[in-house]
């Protein structure tokens, strides 16, 4: 069925360390994988996305990797800062009658100063 | 940020009340969405509109009734809700409908049903 699993549900790191969040999806036809950051009391905001024709994408301290064979993708944040503390959601596109995004359950990242 | 706005930001209603949530996008997008966000659950897609036509109804109870009078405005009419409907309701828009285009979210309406 339509399912995106996200791990871990909570992640605590020291400032300056790296953080990795992993997601798996079930539909081999999925071709778009965005990551959203939601700070407390605020809206989800897109931070990076990747399409199935590439394996990795970077934007400064943030990178996303995609393994289509294994059907998983990961978010990597390097040199974490306290302002990176938030809930991060992965999502995958699903086809069928209507293309739509299916979201993971979220990861609460806490960066300790 | 004013791309997608939602009103009200907070709403408390009784189970017998009727209320409406409003969403407006200023991005020139053709697709609009309603999502429900509950604690410890993934974002749940409720409805999708493309060029004012509903293209997805994700098995949502009839006590939730969407309306899209034009491509910039989206409403969610609520009536006889249950306490378990308490959640953050998020509106989003994208250039075209579907899962392969970036979706931009509004700030949400925090709904509490007593």
For residue range B56-91, list pLDDT tens digits in order.
777 899 999 999 999 999 999 999 999 999 999 999
Query: Which of the four pLDDT bands, split at 50, 70 and 90, describes residue A27?
Result: confident
Both tokens assigned to A54: 């590439």
B75 touches chain A (CB under 8 A): no
Closest-CA residue of chain B to A35: B102
Query: Which of the four pLDDT bands, split at 50, 70 and 90, describes residue B24?
Result: very high
B28 φψ region: left (φ > 0), alpha (ψ -120 to 50), beta (else): left
The percentage of residues in chain B with a pLDDT greater than 90, rounded to a whole number, is 75
Residue B37 burial by Cβ neighbours in a 10 Å radius (0-12, 13-18, 19+): buried
Which of A32, A42, A43 is most worth mutating to test chain B (most B CB atoms within 10 A of its CB)?
A43
CB-based contact A33:A50 (threshold 8 Å) = yes
CA distance A32 to chain B (A): 5
Residue A84 has pLDDT above 70, yes or no: yes
Which of A25, A64, A98 is most worth mutating to test chain B (most B CB atoms within 10 A of its CB)?
A98
**What torsion, rounded to 10 degrees, do the Cα atoms A35, A99, A68, B41 define?**
50
Those residues with Cβ within 8 angstroms of residue B43's Cβ, 6 or more apart along the chain or in another chain: A44, A89, A91, A103, B35, B36, B37, B90
């Amino acid at each position: 069925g339509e399912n995106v699993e996200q791990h871990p549900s909570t992640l605590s790191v020291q400032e300056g360390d790296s953080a990795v969040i992993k997601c798996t999806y079930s539909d081999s036809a999925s071709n778009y994988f965005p990551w959203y950051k939601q700070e407390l009391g605020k809206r989800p905001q897109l931070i990076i996305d990747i399409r199935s024709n590439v394996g990795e994408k970077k934007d400064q301290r943030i990178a996303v990797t995609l393994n289509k064979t294994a059907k998983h993708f990961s978010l990597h944040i390097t040199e974490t800062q306290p302002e990176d503390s938030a809930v991060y959601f992965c999502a995958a596109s699903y086809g069928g009658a209507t293309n739509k995004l299916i979201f993971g359950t979220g990861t609460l990242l806490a960066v300790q100063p | 940020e004013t791309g997608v706005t939602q009103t009200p930001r907070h709403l408390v209603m009784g189970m017998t009340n009727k209320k409406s949530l409003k969403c407006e996008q200023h991005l020139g997008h053709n697709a609009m969405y309603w999502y429900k966000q509950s604690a410890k659950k993934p974002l749940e897609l409720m409805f999708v509109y493309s060029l004012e036509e509903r293209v997805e109804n994700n098995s949502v109870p009839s006590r939730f009734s969407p309306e899209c009078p034009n491509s910039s405005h989206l409403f969610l009419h609520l009536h006889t809700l249950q306490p378990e409907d308490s959640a953050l309701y998020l509106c989003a828009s994208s250039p075209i409908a579907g899962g392969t285009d970036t979706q931009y979210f509004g700030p949400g309406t925090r709904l509490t049903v007593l």
